[in-house]
Chain A
Amino acid sequence: MGQALELAQAVRMLEWLLAWSLGVQTLEFLRIHRSGVVERIWHWPDQKDDIPDRPAWLKATLGHLYQPAMHQAHLWLRLSVILHMAWQGSSLGHFVFLFSSAVVVLIRWRGAFNGGSDFMTLVVLTGGLLAHAVGLWSRPELGWQAGLWYISIHAISSYFMSGWVKLKHAQWRSGRALTIFLNGAIHGPLPAGSWFRKPWLARLSAWGFILWECAFPLALGGPAQAQAMCAVAGVFHFLVFWFFGLNRFFWAWVTCFPAVIYCSNWRLYI
């Protein structure tokens, strides 16, 4: 039988994984900005036309924040806050800063840099913010329970919805979509003799993913089920990284696993 996670253990694991995930993202942003490509392509004087003119102070503030030196300083400050959180444990101040910082960085990238991983990172940051805000007003334990449930519901629904959407498409049910997406992936195209070109294997793999994603809510059946589901999810996200290059997805979802495993033991405290 799987080991249940105590609240304090789940919170600390979540903080470490969040720190790691945000650290990976921040170092990548620093490297990208240092290359100068952001100023050459995502040139702020062009991009600022995306921002509504009113309120004027907000547009001016963003323009100031996105000056190259200021933005780099923001990213270094963010890295130091992440390290402090990993070392000392989180506070409301950590989450307020990291949440605001995430929003500022996302606007610099026209709302999203890496799609789903941006959203899942925001979910975890919002969960932490919720935990500390409720904790101020009530017991800290209640705050973290609310925060972990918030994260857990989002993580579980992300798998379920993703599986459900695939199930509705005939090309996924036939396995053809898997081969087509792998062909178009950043590390593609598939070699001529690739196993994923075999229709029976593509169909089998596609159905494996669909059924597992749709079954993910079963993770709430107990710690053993949650750990098994999260272990498969880890392999799934590694494959997504391997074939599509999406490393941020791997870390963003792994960060949610302590919340899912903690919430799977809901019978004990509800």
Chain B
Amino acid sequence: MGPPARLCGVCFHPVKITHALILLYFVFLLATLWWGPRFIQGPWLFLLRAFFPNWKFFHAVGHEPRLYVRWWPSNASGEGPDPDTPINPWHLVYPRVQRSGLDLVHNPRVNLALSRQNLVDHLAHDLNHLPAGVDARGLVTYRLVQAMVREHCLQNLGATRGAAFEFQIRLERSDTLGEVESHTLLPAARGVV
């Protein structure tokens, strides 16, 4: 390592510069924590949000988004329910997986299940921030959740290709004994399996 550089009488030693840069970085992080979401806006910042700390793990109990699905075989025209077949009841799509100790080292099914629920959370967030008059069907999260519902109907609810489905996003609040309050955020969105 060479001697520290001097500029206008100020010593630019690598140690000092390293400390200054690290300090500057943490001042920036503190600013992001202080000003919160206003600081982290825009599509690129959303996609790169993992660079910003958010240590609010399981911090507040509140309304949680839940996805409900129902399906029915289509009629001959494929546009409405088959009059001879009842519409199946609403079904909650929420990740529940049996525990295994081996999951500590290889856990794709739980992580994937949690990612599905994250999609539902993101759709709920997008719906809450959707400007008046804008169609929710244009949201990326809407299309991804719709694809998830399609797969769920096929794999878990016994639906066949061509069947129609409906999904809802409800916000539910629970206490220690179970659900205490629920209201619908996205009333009934449709699709075809």
Which residues of B have CB within 8 Å of A202?
Answer: 176
Query: Contact: B59 with A114, CB < 8 Å?
Result: no
CA distance A248 to B110 in the complex (A): 11
User: Which one of A110, A119, A142, A238 has the greatest number of beta carbons of chain B within 10 Å?
Assistant: A110
Known A41-B151, A52-B44, A114-B114: A184·B64 in contact at CB below 8 Å:
yes
In the complex, A195 has a CB within 8 A of chain B: no
Q: Taking CB as reference atom, which chain B residue is nearest A62?
A: B47
Query: Contact: A49 with B48, CB < 8 Å?
Result: no
Question: Chain B 90-107, CB within 8 Å of chain A: the 1/0 string?
Answer: 000001111100011111
State the Cβ distance, A233 to closest chain B Cβ, in Å: 14
User: Which one of B50, B113, B114, B175 has the greatest number of beta carbons of chain A within 10 Å?
Assistant: B50
Which residues of B have CB within 8 Å of A114?
Answer: 111, 114-115
State the Cβ distance, B118 to closest chain A Cβ, in Å: 8
Known A47-B140, A116-B54: A27·B97 in contact at CB below 8 Å:
no
Known A142-B15, A179-B176, A245-B99: A41·B147 in contact at CB below 8 Å:
yes
Which residues of B have CB within 8 Å of A225?
Answer: none
Option from A46, A153, A186, A246 in Cβ contact (under 8 Å) with B96:
A186
Query: Contact: A46 with B111, CB < 8 Å?
Result: no
Residues of A in contact with B, size category: 35 or more
Query: Contact: A186 with B113, CB < 8 Å?
Result: yes
In the complex, A169 has a CB within 8 A of chain B: yes
Query: Contact: B44 with A184, CB < 8 Å?
Result: no
Query: Contact: B113 with A169, CB < 8 Å?
Result: no
CA distance A116 to B44 in the complex (A): 19
Query: Contact: B1 with A138, CB < 8 Å?
Result: yes
Query: Contact: A247 with B48, CB < 8 Å?
Result: no
Number of residues on chain B facing chain A (CB within 8 A): 58
Query: Contact: A188 with B112, CB < 8 Å?
Result: no
In the complex, A94 has a CB within 8 A of chain B: no
CA distance A64 to B48 in the complex (A): 19
Q: Taking CB as reference atom, which chain A residue is nearest B56?
A: A165
Query: Contact: A186 with B57, CB < 8 Å?
Result: no
Which residues of A have CB within 8 Å of B103?
Answer: 241, 245, 247
CA distance A180 to B99 in the complex (A): 19
Which residues of A have CB within 8 Å of B49?
Answer: 111-112
State the Cβ distance, A189 to closest chain B Cβ, in Å: 8
Q: Taking CB as reference atom, which chain A residue is nearest B99?
A: A187
Within residues 40 to 95 of chain B, which ones have a CB less than 8 A from any CB in chain A? 43-44, 46-61, 64, 95
Q: Taking CB as reference atom, which chain B residue is nearest A133?
A: B18
Known A197-B176, A241-B104: A158·B96 in contact at CB below 8 Å:
no
Query: Contact: B115 with A109, CB < 8 Å?
Result: yes
CA distance A183 to B177 in the complex (A): 9
Query: Contact: B110 with A43, CB < 8 Å?
Result: no
Query: Contact: B43 with A150, CB < 8 Å?
Result: no
State the Cβ distance, A20 to closest chain B Cβ, in Å: 9
Q: Which 4 A-B pairs have the closest CB atoms?
A: A138-B14, A161-B55, A245-B110, A179-B176
Can you list 16 A-B contacts with CB-CB less than 8 angstroms, sorted by A residue number? A52-B44, A106-B50, A114-B111, A114-B114, A114-B115, A119-B52, A122-B50, A146-B22, A149-B22, A157-B53, A181-B58, A183-B174, A186-B96, A245-B114, A247-B110, A248-B107
15 further interface pairs, Cβ-Cβ under 8 Å (given A113-B115, A247-B107, A247-B111): A52-B43, A110-B47, A110-B140, A113-B111, A115-B54, A119-B51, A119-B52, A138-B15, A149-B22, A157-B53, A161-B56, A169-B61, A183-B174, A183-B176, A245-B99
